[in-house]
Amino acid sequence: MPRSHRRPPPCPGAALLFALLAAGGSELVAQTTPVGAEAVAQPPALAALVDFGRGQSDLRVAVDRYREDRAALLRRHDVAYSPVRRDRMRAFYRGWSNSLAELDFDALNHEGRVDYVMLRTRLDFELEMLDQEAVAVAEMEPLAPFAEGLGRLQETRRDRLPVEPRAVADTLDAAADRIEALTGAIRAGEGPAGVRAVSAERAAQWMGQLRRTLRGWHDYHAGYDPLFTWWVERPWGRLETALEAHASAIRARYVGDAEDGPVIGDPIGEEGLQAHLAHEMIPYTAEELIAIAEREFAWMEEALVEASREMGYGDDWRAAQEAVKNLAVPPGEKPGVVRELARQSVEFIGARDWISLPPLAEEVWRMEMMSPERQLVAPFFLGGEVIQISYPTNTMEHDDKLMSMRGNNPHFNRATVHHELIPGHHLQGFMTSRFNDHRGLFNTPFWGEGWALYWEMVLWDNDFPRGPEDRIGMLFWRMHRAARIIFSLSFHLERMTPQEAVDFLVDRVGHERANAEAEVRRSFAGQYSPLYQVAYMIGGLQFRALHDELVGSGRMTDREFHDAVMQGGRMPVEMVRARLTGQELTRDYTTRWRFAEGG
């Protein structure tokens, strides 16, 4: 029987929450106040922080140096898609790769070896991403043949070279002629043929980036250089207008409306998926991950039927889910629901002494309401130190109001509030900004989203849902995570279109259609890695397998395990395992941990 059906041992009847870390760092966080009392943060024991610092990675300074050098170079070379920038960054990554290869790996402490493996993996991936960018530029070039030449204007400025105002005016005027001609051809249906929607959207975004970059270039000279101002004023205004009109024409002809039009995406294929899986240290194929998701789906559907029967709906769990959706609170009451659910989850976790809960983390989180525009791509909550709450406003259409309320009912929220706050994203951000923050370079959604999903599993296993309505709410989100694996990987394998993904979420999970469209649009908009949607459940399964290995065997307590994860910093979960088990590593270590049951 799946693990999530197991019944937990009786919980301890603790009345106080304690935030002292277990052995090995027990004074890093001050003691909490009793549950329900006002939390007042006290300074941590400084001696414990000093002790923690002594065991840090030998490569911490090197990783910080790499991160800062890389960021400085990207600020210096700020022209998007520029071949000059690609060449400079390629030389940078290769230089670091060569230096890393010359380092005495065996002389590093274990934390240093962990960082070595992650930095080497990151450098390999960065070089591969530069190659992929070059391919993307080649696909966009028919829609932006003028872009590279215009980008050189900013690169000349960054090289600290003077400009010749009349020559610059000629360049701008000629570019405007070329852009206007291409824009006219596109509007007339005579533009480049065979352009993919995703390449067109990327090209339209490129026009916006180029316009902003050139605006900075123009403002640097205009007014300060009289000849520049005299020659360039009119050509610049014409060019800026042309770039904006060109982006609009591209979208109208090849893409559709960015918010209300068809959902587009950029499938990367099986080979591309495998490259990303190797970077994330996931030793499974896309096919194997889909099979894992289907296995998870199977027990969830059984659990939904069980809850549905308790509610009096027999085997029709969709009818039971509809009833739960209609338990939404009235407008204006949503912040109170979030506040109460946050209190309940902190009290529930703290009473069981599962993880240190710093009083300051409890004190500083805040709430904001999501704008109607933002809800088009983020129909549910977003978290961190600030939890952003999706709920309808007076300006939304009637149907959209109802879908927002139904999709954010309190029983669905029972899985989302702790996911976004404590012990999820807010606690993650709080701890990783204070311990091993250099490992932000190695951040991965399998650690970030996987950890938050893992706690959904832990709370389910320990009867955090109070009745069948809560179970249906929490199962909705578990099914959503499994569905994300199936639809995102199927899309990248070119077996499912974005619209089919929307239908899949509606039919298989029970999403409101507007919410499903927003979820798919966000998944494929290009702002997330191709594996981001896979990472929730797969990362959660990784953490659960590691918990079984270390806590289930008695090698660590719950609190020791969870605190060690939080203090270790962000990284692939396989490297969390290497840290906590003291696993022997080699300089050429690659992913090999088959964490899934039966894997």
> pLDDT tens for residues 142-179?
999 999 999 999 999 999 999 999 999 999 999 999 99
pLDDT band at 287 (very low <50, low <70, confident <90, very high): very high
Give the separation between CA 18 and CA 41, rounded to whole angstroms: 12
- For residues 145 and 5, which has the higher predicted lDDT (pLDDT)? 145
CB 86 within 8 A of CB 134: yes
The pLDDT of residue 31 is: 38
The pLDDT of residue 9 is: 36
- Measuring CA to CA, which residue among 591, 599, 556 is closest to residue 574? 591
The pLDDT of residue 190 is: 96
- For residues 473 and 521, which has the higher predicted lDDT (pLDDT)? 473
> In this model, does residue 38 exceed pLDDT 70?
no
Burial of 437 (0-12, 13-18, 19+ CB in 10 A): middle
CB 467 within 8 A of CB 230: no
The pLDDT of residue 257 is: 58
The pLDDT of residue 40 is: 62
The pLDDT of residue 270 is: 87
> In this model, does residue 457 exceed pLDDT 70?
yes
- Measuring CA to CA, which residue among 298, 218, 277, 207 is closest to residue 244? 207
Amino acid at 41: A
Give the separation between CA 566 and CA 426, rounded to whole angstroms: 12
Give the separation between CA 227 and CA 235, rounded to whole angstroms: 14
CB 401 within 8 A of CB 546: no
The pLDDT of residue 49 is: 81
pLDDT band at 4 (very low <50, low <70, confident <90, very high): very low
The pLDDT of residue 21 is: 32
The mean pLDDT value of the chain amounts to: 89
Residues 6+ apart with CB under 8 A from 17: 32, 33, 34, 35, 346, 347, 350, 351, 357
CA atoms within 13 A on the CB side of 537: 24
Q: Which two tokens stand for residue 487?
A: 């639809």
pLDDT band at 514 (very low <50, low <70, confident <90, very high): confident
Give the separation between CA 560 and CA 539, rounded to whole angstroms: 20
- For residues 40 and 188, which has the higher predicted lDDT (pLDDT)? 188
What is the per-residue pLDDT across 399-437, written as a single tens digit (0 to 9) for each?
Answer: 888 888 988 999 999 999 999 999 999 999 999 999 999
CB 264 within 8 A of CB 199: no
CA atoms within 13 A on the CB side of 464: 31
CB 459 within 8 A of CB 573: no
Residue 388 in 3-state DSSP?
strand
CA 370, 372, 377, 381 torsion-angle sign: positive
Provide the 8-state DSSP code for 497.
Answer: -
Q: What percent of the chain has pLDDT over 70?
A: 91
The pLDDT of residue 41 is: 64
Burial of 130 (0-12, 13-18, 19+ CB in 10 A): middle
Residues 6+ apart with CB under 8 A from 26: 20, 48
What is the per-residue pLDDT across 184-238, written as a single tens digit (0 to 9) for each?
Answer: 999 999 999 999 888 998 999 999 999 999 999 999 999 999 999 999 999 999 9
The pLDDT of residue 28 is: 40
Per-residue pLDDT, averaged over 100-128, amounts to 97
Q: What percent of the chain has pLDDT over 90?
A: 74
The pLDDT of residue 77 is: 98
At residue 368, what are phi and psi to the nearest 5 degrees?
Answer: -135, 155
> In this model, does residue 5 exceed pLDDT 60?
no
Q: Which two tokens stand for residue 349?
A: 């976790």
Instruction: Report the C-alpha dihedral over residues 301, 307, 311, 317, rounded to 10 degrees.
Output: -10
Per-residue pLDDT, averaged over 356-363, amounts to 94
At residue 34, what are phi and psi to the nearest 5 degrees?
Answer: -60, 155
Per-residue pLDDT, averaged over 246-275, amounts to 80
- For residues 38 and 163, which has the higher predicted lDDT (pLDDT)? 163
Residues 6+ apart with CB under 8 A from 242: 175, 176, 179, 180, 183
Give the separation between CA 177 and CA 518, rounded to whole angstroms: 38
Residues 6+ apart with CB under 8 A from 252: 187
Amino acid at 26: S
> In this model, does residue 490 exceed pLDDT 60?
yes
Per-residue pLDDT, averaged over 124-142, amounts to 94
The pLDDT of residue 8 is: 34
Amino acid at 272: G
Give the separation between CA 483 and CA 480, rounded to whole angstroms: 5
Give the separation between CA 445 and CA 488, rounded to whole angstroms: 15
Give the separation between CA 230 and CA 221, rounded to whole angstroms: 11
- Measuring CA to CA, which residue among 12, 20, 140, 4 is closest to residue 80? 140
Question: What are the boundaries of each domain within the chain?
Answer: 60-140, 144-255, 271-581
Residues 6+ apart with CB under 8 A from 361: 422, 426, 427, 430, 431
> In this model, does residue 36 exceed pLDDT 90?
no
Q: Which two tokens stand for residue 264?
A: 């587009």
The pLDDT of residue 30 is: 38
pLDDT band at 526 (very low <50, low <70, confident <90, very high): low
Count other Cβ atoms within 10 Å, centred on residue 328: 23
